[in-house]
Structure 1
Amino acid sequence: MDPDNPRRILPRLVALIVPIVVAGFAGEVPVVQPATVGVVLVGLIVFVGLIVLAAVAGDRAAGWFATLGAVVGHDYFLAAPRHSLMLEAIADVEFDVAILLVGVAVTEIVQWGRRARSLSSRRGTYLRDLAGVHAGESPGDLQRRIGGILARLLDADDVFFLDVAPDPEDAAITPEDRLRVGDHEWDAVDGLPTDRYVAAVVHKGERTVGHFRISSATHISRPTREQLSVAALLAQQLVTRADDAVQP
């Protein structure tokens, strides 16, 4: 069971219940009955606002629950016959369809914006990590700093540098942002291997000068291809920064 699920249940229930409660109160207001075009538009705007609020404050499921709550609230409290989920008017059916379509659309738009912000934040972190690797540090300090960044980036148990080529049985991060064991590609969607090391290889020209040995034996880490790409770039900074330090 996902440990986050208990914390998500309450917001989803609230997202479901609030539109129903709002519809219940609105159904007792005389001006709402009978429903005019203006009242319908106001109701649509209110319901969409509640759906957006649920999607922003919660998650995609909260947006869906709010959409469902808006439909149930409208049908039970506002549409004829009152206090029934049976609909008589085509206009009420059209209202439900509109709420469903708009609710799903705005929920997905909110989630897209959230993903875009998250991606921008992650890329900013990557850039700060790269900028934090200084050419003036000693080789040992560089190795430890880059190893620490790699451990956080890949959610690994341990990372340390070895000045030898990786073992053939290690899963090496390739320039194509993938993992490869010998001639076989490892599907990173399944997570970093827990039964072998992962190697971020450091090259100087055509020569392999070493690798960062990455261990993830106690849990499954699932880095994205972008994170694998950043890991390969970070590992290469060991040579890049060292060369910068010796230049006159």
Structure 2
Amino acid sequence: MNLRSVIRAHRLATTVLAAGLPLAAAALLSLVRDTVGTPTVVLVLVACVVVAGATGLRSAGLAAAVSAAASFDFFLTQPYGSFAIHDAEDLEAAVLLLIIGGIVTETALWGLRQEAALARQSGYLGGVLATADTLARHHESAEDVTESVGRRITELLDLDSCRFVPGPPPNPGAPTFHHDGALVRDGYQLNIERDGLPVDAAMYLLVRSGSQVRGHFVVTAATHIARPSLEQRRVAALLADQVAGWLAGSGQHVTGRSVHGSPQ
């Protein structure tokens, strides 16, 4: 079984368990439904949805929300053991359970996405600081510096290869990364989020010190569709700027070296 199949199986199992949690809770609450008020029942079922939403799977959270509303209807509203609802307040509670469940799920997913974004930003900052530390070692050769930075750019942008070449790029119309993260080809900005990096051409990442282009990284992603975020592309440009500053300060010259990414 490959990794993708394992992930699918895990998501399916998590969604099934999430749907079963409110069902089990409602079944247990039905044993004491004469002594437990509707507000308490709703809070317990909402708590089940919160637990499901915390898994980070929208399917799990929504399945739990639907299950909570249906279980409340079946076990805890009259006529018991039926999905019919005769009391307007019970109908309102069931609908609110479904709505609250959906809101809780989306809120939990938003929080998880924010946490993941912060973790990525921390990782990017760590990479920039590590690169700055490498450039601060004056005993490093220019080849070692550009190879080290090329490796980080390869990982950051999910590339096949990254090679430093001295001087300006030979083809100004080729896809070129700008400092704002845009990738421009023949004067037109490409939609990386939608289409991914071009697989039919090498791309350039300029190593510029002021108005002087000291070199460029030739990057390729021909074997797969890579979709680095705007933030990742901006960090890559920042790494290239660090190389430019180091070359300007050290006065060293460098020949090209290729850095290859991990096999896809």
TM-score w.r.t. the length of structure 1 is 0.90
Shift of residue 244, structure 1, vs aligned partner: 4.9
The Cα shift of 1:57 comes to: 2.0
5 Å matches for 1:47-58?
A: 47-58=45-56
Indicate if the aligned counterparts of 2:161 and 2:219 stay in contact, CA closer than 8 A: yes
Residue 211 in structure 1 maps to residue 213 in structure 2: no
Q: Which residue of 2 aligns with 1:64?
A: 62
> Matched residues in 2 for 1:94 and 1:152: separation?
52
Q: Could you tell me which of 64, 75, 78 is aligned with 1:77?
A: 75
From 227, 230, 234, give the equivalent of 1:225.
230
Q: Distance in 1 between matches of 2:56 and 2:221?
A: 31
Q: Is the 8 A contact 2:56 2:109 kept in 1?
A: no
Q: Which residue of 2 aligns with 1:235?
A: 240
Q: Partners of 1:81 and 1:198 in 2: how far apart? A: 67
Matched, 1:99 2:100: no
Judged with a 3 Å threshold, the aligned counterparts in structure 2 of structure 1 residues 245 and 113 are, in CA distance, closer, same or farther, namely farther
- Could you tell me whether the CA contact under 8 Å between 1:12 and 1:58 is conserved in 2? no
Change (3 A) 1:244 1:89: farther
TM value normalised by structure 2? 0.85
Cα separation, 2, equivalents of 1:165 and 1:106: 53
The equivalent residue for 1:175 is 179
- RMSD of Structure 2 on Structure 1 (CA): 1.8
Instruction: Show structure 2 runs of 5+ residues with no match.
Output: 252-264
Deviates more, 1:98-107 or 1:237-246: 237-246
Matches of 2:86 and 2:126, distance apart in 1: 60
1:5 matched to 2:13: no
Structure 1 residue 245: deviation in Å? 5.0
**Paired amino acid for 1:174:** H
The Cα offsets for residues 163-192 of structure 1, whole Å up to 9 and x where unpaired, read as: 132333531111232110021111112111
5 Å matches for 1:119-130? 119-130=117-128
Question: Counterpart amino acid of 2:47?
Answer: G
Higher relative CO (CA 8 A, sep ≥ 6), structure 1 or 2? 2
Cα deviation for residue 83 of structure 1 reads 1.4
Aligned to 1:33: 34
- The 3-state SS of whatever aligns with 1:57 is coil
Q: Distance in 1 between matches of 2:180 and 2:82?
A: 58
Q: How many residues align?
A: 240
Counterpart contact for 1:169–1:196, Cα < 8 Å: no
TM-aligned CA deviation for residue 143 of structure 1: 0.7
Q: CA deviation at 1:40?
A: 1.3
Q: Percent identity?
A: 30
Structure 2 residue 112 is matched with structure 1 residue 108:
no
Deviation string 1:15-44 (CA, Å, 9 cap, x unpaired) is 1122112212221x1x3137xxx6212111
> Aligned partner of 1:231: which letter?
A
The residue type paired with residue 16 of structure 2 is L
Amino acid at match of 1:15: A
Query: Does structure 2 conserve the Cα–Cα contact (< 8 Å) formed by 1:172 and 1:179?
Result: yes
Partner of 1:161: 164
Q: Distance in 2 between matches of 1:229 and 1:223?
A: 10
Aligned-pair CA distance for 1:101: 2.1
